[in-house]
Structure 1
């Protein structure tokens, strides 16, 4: 069965129809959570997974599915119309996807890929069934050998039919019987085949013979016809009657193909690891170049904007002050320039978040006092009331944690109700675990800091959008902003190995909850 996961029904329907035309059974899910519930109950050959979804995105769903043992043979194809950059494609593959397609998708190509992955899934299932069948066959053979332990002739008949080299050993260690496969590796039925010098078991076997316990080793035997060494699994089992050892039964099983495959796989893993290291270095270099580019572009854009604002002010004051319509147009131009300048500053701040910085012990009270001092004029203008608990001293990157509190307080003032004085509350408590709803604990490893306000609030259905860059829940004409502030806050909290979330109701204010570790590793972030 095929599972299609997309939060848009209009995207699911055409894919479902196309696959059903090719005789596939198709199931659908409209969210990551629904998909995970279905995966727990149903086996799917292929999952076609949309990347951009509210709640759990496609990458998070794929990571969760990878933890389900029953889905280890399921192939995941990512679809995305937005996240088409190399870093998202790379993330898709590292999340467990076998393919990453960008929309619009060629239906014929998609069907061919699904057919191929479906066929691979069926082959894996058949192989698993074959393996189970082989395991059962081995168990049956073991039981048969135990049942006929006292009848040597019957045992020899069974051993002569085995595909492995088989032999029996008397309690004194002398070889009693060998089957015909033995003579591919030894001309003497009383002497063990020649092993590789590094695999000699002559010193070990007498110890197990004396102890009467099973002996198992991997050895390389020299094939008489070719002179080549081949890997075998040697097993020598004691056969007992009423706790008395009556003989040993041994087999050499040829595992040479499996060992070659394992060695080839190890080489492939080593090669892929080297490739990933090279890609990581290239990615780090690209990120560094992007930061430099953003810095240069931002500074180059600021200068002409400043000139535009200054010149507009001069024209308005010196030449058009008595023409209201012209003044109105110039004010709009000046405001647009200011918004552009604010956007450039925010973009510059966002690009600098990946710059390495060290953690250090920080008194959050001092940080907050500095921020409130910066907002003093705006606080007075709005008659804002701020209450602050005693905040802890924790390990932070001071400049970045300052950005978090600055953006949260700025938003609380910005999105206040008209003609209602803003009321902002900042509380702190020590908690046990890294969870939003963790219980308080005086010796906990984390702190929960809550910034509350009585502003316009927002619909909690859109809580995931507010931390995404350029996402806004208000119109630009009513409230200023670039849509970057909360994205900066989230990225900074992530760098502090913490959590940021929110609770809100429209017209009833908002709460932003920060979970921060009390202590950090002394590594450069």
Structure 2
């Protein structure tokens, strides 16, 4: 080794003011065959926060260089076995040390030829001993900074290369997608096109040229359509455009209806292009116009028929009223005269009284029949719905039937009934009929027991599932009377249909038909379940709230 480095104690006072306190540096390698030269130099660099490694021979230095990256190598020139120049030449052959700077130190080889050889061997500086530690530290700092900048530059270059590769792959993928898209658009039966993000045409298929002369301009549209104002709005907002337009056919010179649809294609939330189609809807449009004309004609005819039907219905109601009134008047006279004859002239003739009673009963049945027919005919008259408390309706009916209930020893159980929208007089007719039938069709010698209950259900169905806030109400009137065969359940709601002979049970056979028509008017359902000799259950399903009536000018 050529000479000895000055002791660090000599320079401590001058160097303390330049020691960095908060910056770390990459590894520095000191190569010298004498430890007494390595230690003071190592101490000086460590005082300046450098990370320092050492090697006491050229071979050891090469081994360390192969495994550890160094930013600066301080290399002694005069060493046994392998001098500094040979070590530098070997290090220059390593690709991982291309950014490493070498500083030669020498106390003996100070001639110009040695200095030249040092620079030729790859050194960036050549210092002779004794050297100024401050100068050495400044040089190391500069080379250290240069090394770090080179590393950052290489990292940036690698990142840029990776980004370029990614972008190249993305461009290739995009080009493949565009080619695939254009192939797909070329196979469509519609006019198809794509534009840039700014709306400039970039691709059109062959169908385009039936309506446009060039691939750079849109087809001519009807002056009244003006879809391009909406197209500009869609471009500005990045939203889909759907419009009906009329395009001028180049062959016929006529305008034909097309449906224009333009969709934005986005990448990373930004619109990159637009894809559009013109679909020929001319035939459908003509068909729709013809259909609208036909609908208008049929609507007009229907209105005329409805008016005629309303007049006929009104005339029928008037006829029914007049006929009922005219029929009831002679019947009243027949009944009155029969009663008079019976009381005055035939009181001593039992056989004549028997025949006369039969005539009086027939007149009474005829009167009931006329009343029921009149009530049935009046069901076609529209009436408003009102909130109706079914509890109040049933209480009033029980009061009306109080004599019958007492005479037959009947018991009537009534559960909690809801408030529903109804026509009060009509719903009263229904419940009156069901309650009257339950009392009338009792088994001989068995007091009637009638149960009236209600519950909310989820659907308009006889067997709908119960639910506390369901939109429908299921009302059940159950009795223990004579019942009937279930196979006749649908027939009992037909007008004049009777399951029992008239001599045993009085009635006209219209009551349940009136109930059925009333329930239909309430948009509800009515059904019956029974077995002969085991009573019957009549089930009524009604909406809790009725839909609002439509105004005269509304349409469905």
Q: Same fold (TM over 0.5)?
A: yes
Out of 329, 334, 355, which is 1:329 matched to? 355
- Which of 265, 281, 286 aligns to 2:291? It is 265
Distance 1:297 1:196, change over 3 A: same
DSSP 3-state at the match of 2:444: coil
Q: How big is the shift at 1:513?
A: 2.3
Map 1:453-492 → 2, pairs under 5 A: 453-492=479-518
Structure of higher RCO (CA pairs closer than 8 Å, 6+ residues apart): 1
- Quick check: 1:276 aligned with 2:302? yes
Q: What is the DSSP-based 3-state SS (H/G/I as helix, E as strand, rest coil) of the residue aligned with 2:491?
A: coil
Query: Once the 2 structures are TM-superposed, how far is the Cα of residue 412 of structure 1 from its aligned partner?
Result: 1.6
Distance (Å, rounded) in 1 between the aligned partners of 2:465 and 2:301: 45
**Equivalences for residues 221-232 of structure 1 within 5 A:** 221-223=247-249, 227-232=253-258
Mapped to 2, the partners of 1:524 and 1:202 lie a distance apart of 40
Q: 1:274 to 1:310 in 2, by over 3 A?
A: same
The aligned residue for residue 349 of structure 1 is 375
Identify the range of structure 1 (400-409 vs 172-181) with the bigger mean alpha-carbon deviation: 172-181
Partner of 2:126: none
Residue 311 (str. 1) matches residue 337 (str. 2):
yes
8 A Cα contact 1:149 1:239, kept in partner: no
- What whole-Å deviation, never above 9, does each CA across 1:267-290 have from its counterpart, x for those lacking one? 222332333333333333333332
Whole-angstrom CA distance in 2 between matches of 1:221 and 1:259: 14
Which residue does the alignment assign to 1:198?
Answer: 224
Give 1:456 deviation, angstroms. 0.9
Q: Match for residue 371 of structure 1?
A: 397
Cα 1:218–1:495 shift into 2, 3 Å? closer
Does residue 1:289 correspond to 2:315, yes or no? yes
Change (3 A) 1:387 1:228: closer
Q: For residues 463 and 185 of structure 1, do their structure 2 counterparts lie closer, same or farther at Cα, with a shift above 3 Å needed?
A: same
Spell out the pairing of 1:498-513 with structure 2 (5 A cutoff): 498-513=524-539
Q: CA deviation at 1:340?
A: 0.8
CA 1:421/1:282 → structure 2, altered by over 3 Å: closer, same or farther? same
Which residue matches 1:118? none
The 2-side partners of 1:466 and 1:356 are apart by 25
* CA offsets 1:402-441 (integer angstroms, 9 cap, x no match): 2122211221222122233322232344555544344544
* Counterparts of 2:367 and 2:274, CA distance in 1: 86
How far apart are 1:264 and its partner, in Å? 1.5
The aligned counterpart of 2:520 is 494
- Say whether the 8 Å CA contact 1:359–1:523 is kept in structure 2: no
Displacement of 1:317 in angstroms is 3.8
1:418: which partner in 2?
Answer: 444
Say which SS state the counterpart of residue 478 (structure 2) adopts. Answer: strand
Q: Measure, in 1, the Cα distance between the counterparts of 2:463 and 2:203.
A: 70
Q: Deviations over 1:178-215 (max 9, x none)?
A: 88876765556654432212334445667888999997
Q: How does 1:83-94 map to 2 (within 5 A)?
A: none
User: Secondary structure, in 3 states, of the residue corresponding to 2:283?
Assistant: helix
Deviations along 1:221-242, whole A, 9 cap, x unmatched? 23456543222455789999xx
Quick one: distance in 2 between partners of 1:361 and 1:247?
60
TM-fit CA distance, 1:461: 1.2
Secondary structure of the structure 2 residue equivalent to 1:199: coil
Q: Residues 474-508 of structure 1, C-alpha deviation per residue, up to 9 Å, x if partnerless?
A: 12222211111112222223333433222211011
> 2-side partners of 1:223 and 1:188: how far apart?
14
| Structure-1-length-normalised TM-score | 0.58
Between Structure 1 and Structure 2, how many residues are aligned? 376
Alpha-carbon distance in structure 1 between the residues aligned to 2:196 and 2:454 = 77
d(CA) in 2 for partners of 1:303, 1:151: 91
Inter-CA distance 524–349: structure 2 relative to 1 (3 Å threshold): farther
C-alpha change, 1:517 and 1:253, in structure 2 (3 Å) is closer
Greater CA deviation, 503-512 or 427-436? 427-436
Q: Superposition RMSD on alpha carbons, in Å?
A: 4.4
**1:459 shift after superposition:** 0.9
- Give 5+ residue unaligned stretches, structure 1: 1-145
Cα 1:172–1:303 change in 2 (3 A) is closer
Change (3 A) 1:254 1:427: closer
Query: What per-residue deviation string (whole Å, max 9, x for no partner) do you get for residues 19-39 of structure 1?
Result: xxxxxxxxxxxxxxxxxxxxx
Output the CA distance in 1 between the equivalents of 2:392 and 2:237: 73
Deviation at 1:331, TM superposition (A): 2.5
C-alpha displacement of 1:251: 6.9
Residue equivalent to 1:75: none
Q: Quote the Cα distance in structure 2 between the aligned partners of 1:181 and 1:364.
A: 70
Match of 1:35 in 2: none
Determine helix, strand or coil for the equivalent of 1:466: helix
The structure-2 alpha-carbon separation of the partners of 1:260 and 1:476, relative to structure 1 and needing over 3 Å to count, comes to same
